[in-house]
Amino acid sequence: MIRTTFFIAAAALVVAGALWLAGRSGDVTLSGDGWQMGVPLPVFVFGVLIVAVIAALGYRFWRSVRRAPAAARAYVQRRDREKGYKALTQGMVAVAAGDAQEAARQAKRATSLLAEPPLTMLLSAQAAQLNGDENAANLYFTAMLDREETAFLGLRGLLMQAQREGHDALALAFTRRAHALQPKTPWVLTTLLDLEVAGRHWREAIEAVDQAAKRKAIEPDKARRIKATLMLACSQEAEDAGDSEEALAHARKAHALAPDFLAASIRLATLSAEADKKRAAIKIIEDAWSKTPHPALAALYGRLDDEKDPLKMVKRFEKLCGTNRDHPESHIALAEALLKAKIWGAARSHLDTAGGAAPSARICRLMASLEESEHGDMAAVRAWLLRATFADPDPAWICSGCGSPADSWAPICSHCGALGTLDWKTPARAAALEYSGTGLLPPADFGGDFGGGSDAALPVIMAPSAGQEPLPPTLPPDRFGDEGATLDHEPGDKPSRTGPNP
Residues forming contacts to Zn ion in the complex (CB under 5 A) are 399, 401-402, 404, 413, 415-416, 418
For residues 367 and 350, is the Cβ–Cβ distance under 8 A?
no
Least Å distance between CB 81 and Zn ion?
Answer: 52
Nearest CB to Zn ion, comparing residues 243 and 482: 482
Least Å distance between CB 418 and Zn ion?
Answer: 5
For residues 195 and 178, is the Cβ–Cβ distance under 8 A?
no
Least Å distance between CB 231 and Zn ion?
Answer: 20
Q: How far is CA 210 from CA 85, 178, 192, 205, 222, in A?
A: 41, 17, 12, 9, 11
Long-range contacts of 237-241 (CB under 8 A, 24+ apart): 237/202, 239/271
Least Å distance between CB 461 and Zn ion?
Answer: 18
Nearest CB to Zn ion, comparing residues 310 and 473: 473
Least Å distance between CB 252 and Zn ion?
Answer: 27
Strands 36-40 and 27-31: antiparallel
Nearest CB to Zn ion, comparing residues 145 and 475: 475
CA distance 369 to 347: 11
Contacts of 49 (CB under 8 A, 6+ apart): none
CA distance 337 to 25: 138
Backbone phi and psi for residue 412, each to the nearest 5 degrees, phi listed first? -125, 135
Nearest CB to Zn ion, comparing residues 193 and 298: 193
Least Å distance between CB 375 and Zn ion?
Answer: 44
CA distance 103 to 89: 10
Q: Is 155 helix (H, G, I), strand (E, B) or coil?
A: helix
Least Å distance between CB 261 and Zn ion?
Answer: 18
Least Å distance between CB 406 and Zn ion?
Answer: 8
Longest Cα–Cα distance in the chain: 159
Nearest CB to Zn ion, comparing residues 156 and 479: 479
**The dihedral of CA 161, 421, 299, 359: what is its sign?**
negative
Nearest CB to Zn ion, comparing residues 332 and 418: 418
Nearest CB to Zn ion, comparing residues 107 and 193: 193
Nearest CB to Zn ion, comparing residues 373 and 498: 498
Angle formed at CA 372 by CA 443 and CA 361, multiple of 5 degrees = 35
